[in-house]
Amino acid sequence: MNSEFRIQNSESQKLAVVALGSNLGNSRQIIPVAMVRLQTFSSRPILKSSLWQTSPVNCPPGSRIFLNAVVGLTTRTGETPESLFQKLRELETEFGRQMKKVLNEPRPLDLDLIAFGMETRDSPELILPHPRALVRRFVLQPLAEIAPELVLPGQSRTVSQLLAGLPDGETVTRLS
């Protein structure tokens, strides 16, 4: 694990993992700009994965390929999973995301809160850790780049171990 990622979870600060995706508009520009914006939510420099080109998963027919990435940020004092989740929704809207009409439809920016410290949630608005992150190569591959030894809440295996256990099928290519 990156030594920078060994952040002590305290009552005031938590390690948050956010997955980024885009398949509408100039994704190569959108994701890096969104990462800069996510830095404003962090009390320390964020960890950023590379950009990854990925095949659409459970998307409408004809969906374009995605660009994906993951960041790790240190939450500010007083931040909650719910308040960070709301900030992520607002950022998506700023980048032009519309209200969902079709499940997994194309979007300029998709931000998923994967984990928030060791906290768990199970509400209609927010589930932590993100329930599908554990089976999505497009999340685990970039996360393994910045935090291979991270163990997500409720898991006993590291991100690298979860990634190694995934079946083939998703195409995930690291971009230079």
- Is the per-residue pLDDT at 146 higher than 80? yes
- Over the stretch 78-113, which tens digit does the pLDDT of each residue have? 999 999 999 999 999 999 987 766 666 778 999 999
Q: Which residues face 174 on adjacent strands?
A: 52
DSSP per-residue string spanning 80-94 = -HHHHHHHHHHHHHH
Q: What is the pLDDT of residue 12?
A: 62
pLDDT attached to residue 165: 95
Which 8-state DSSP code applies to residue 11? Answer: S
Domain 3-174 CATH assignment equals 3.10.580.10: no
DSSP track, 62-80: TPPPEEEEEEEEEBPTT--
User: pLDDT confidence of 27, banded at 50, 70, 90?
Assistant: very high
Average pLDDT, the chain: 89
Catalytically active residues are 97, 107, 110, 112
The 10s digit of each residue's pLDDT in 32-86 is 999 999 999 999 999 999 999 998 887 777 788 899 999 999 999 999 999 999 9
With 60 as the cut, is the pLDDT of residue 6 above it? Answer: no
159 has a pLDDT exceeding 60: yes
The more confidently predicted of residues 53 and 168 is 53
